[in-house]
Amino acid sequence: MAVKLQTIKDIRNYISGELSGLYSERESAGISNIIISKVFEMNRVSSLLKENEMLAGRQKTEMVIRYCRKLKTGEPVQYVIGETLFYDCIIRVNPGVLIPRPETEELVDLIVKENKGFTGSIIDIGTGSGCIAVALAVNLPSSKITGIDKSRRAIKTAVKNAELNNSAISFFEADLFNIDPSQIQNADIIVSNPPYVRISEKQFMRRNVLGFEPHRALFVPDNDPLKFYRAILNLAGNILNPGGSIWFEINESMGKPVQDLLESYNYCGVKIIKDINGKDRIAKGKKGA
């Protein structure tokens, strides 16, 4: 039977019905807003005000139906439409990079607020989509930013996102565990959102994350959950300027171990900061002279 989608209200009801059993009512509503915004180029308020108006153009309603078919497989909406909004920046995403999370926006927000007018250099290690580097470049325009990632596909995505947001960022491909520090200019800030989910925590994760997002960017072995932080700190010993700061996004259960690790590398003023949900999520420290 043909699907008739004549109004925005029809589309909301259609998406809600198609995703029933896969997402909660609240999540389906959020997905509807994202799809409507993408397809019809209208914000949530406009879509509510015009929800009973007749839509023109079958091509757009067919696009909604195609998106829904993909969503029903569990594919995240951000991958389905190919982009997401991160700290007021449009970030293109694909299955080669993680979908940026609100917790990472909190990390960026703290760095921006602490470094107004910053003119130094920033290195984003494990840049992925480039979301952190792009957001910092847009909001700290006098800084010099470099993004590093092992994945060639991720670097290509990050370069496109920098161009999309008119931000000047240097990106290069390198393996954190086999990198020559002389390849990298010294930094005043190092930031990273490395893999930090332990393999044993897979059982608590949603199917759409496990089935579609890159595992190499998510998981660490249970017997060495801080391997990326330690590697970054080893690199920082060569490239982070004295007095420079380091910022990490962390596993909520690893606040104390990360703090101990930073202090063992002689970082001072180490803080573990909770996210909006009250979970340990961000670590920061300053390199001694």
Residue 3 forms part of a structural domain: no
Residue 166 and residue 40 in one domain:
no
> For 148-169, how does the pLDDT look when each residue is reduced to its tens digit (9 = 90+)?
999 999 999 999 999 999 999 9
> For 10-29, how does the pLDDT look when each residue is reduced to its tens digit (9 = 90+)?
999 999 999 988 888 999 99
Residue 255 and residue 133 in one domain:
yes
Residue 202 and residue 94 in one domain:
yes
234 has which bridge partners? none
Domain final position from 73, 95, 130: 73
Tally of structural domains, the chain: 2
Integer Cα distance of 263 and 288 in angstroms: 11
Residue 91 and residue 218 in one domain:
yes
- Residue 269 maps to which CATH number? 3.40.50.150
Domain final position from 45, 73, 101: 73
Task: Locate 182 and state its tokens.
Answer: 């002389």
Write out the residue range of the structural domain in which residue 209 sits.
83-287
Question: Strand runs (DSSP E) across the chain, as ranges?
Answer: 83-86, 89-92, 121-125, 144-149, 169-173, 187-192, 197-198, 219-220, 240-249, 267-274, 280-287
In which residue are the tokens 């690199």 written? Answer: 235
Residue 48 and residue 93 in one domain:
no
Residue 117 and residue 48 in one domain:
no
* Tens of each residue's pLDDT in the chain, 289 residues: 457 788 889 999 999 999 988 888 999 999 999 999 999 888 888 887 788 888 767 888 889 999 999 999 999 999 999 999 999 999 999 999 999 999 999 999 999 999 999 999 999 999 999 999 999 999 999 999 999 999 999 999 999 999 999 999 999 999 999 999 988 999 999 999 999 999 999 988 888 888 999 999 999 999 999 999 999 999 999 999 999 999 999 999 999 999 999 999 999 999 999 999 999 999 999 998 6
Residue 119 and residue 251 in one domain:
yes
Q: What is the DSSP string of 181-228?
A: GGGS--EEEEEE----EEGGGGGGS-HHHHHHS-GGGTEE-TT-TTHH
Residue 170 and residue 233 in one domain:
yes
Domain final position from 47, 73, 99: 73
> For 45-58, how does the pLDDT look when each residue is reduced to its tens digit (9 = 90+)?
888 778 888 876 78
Residue 1 forms part of a structural domain: no
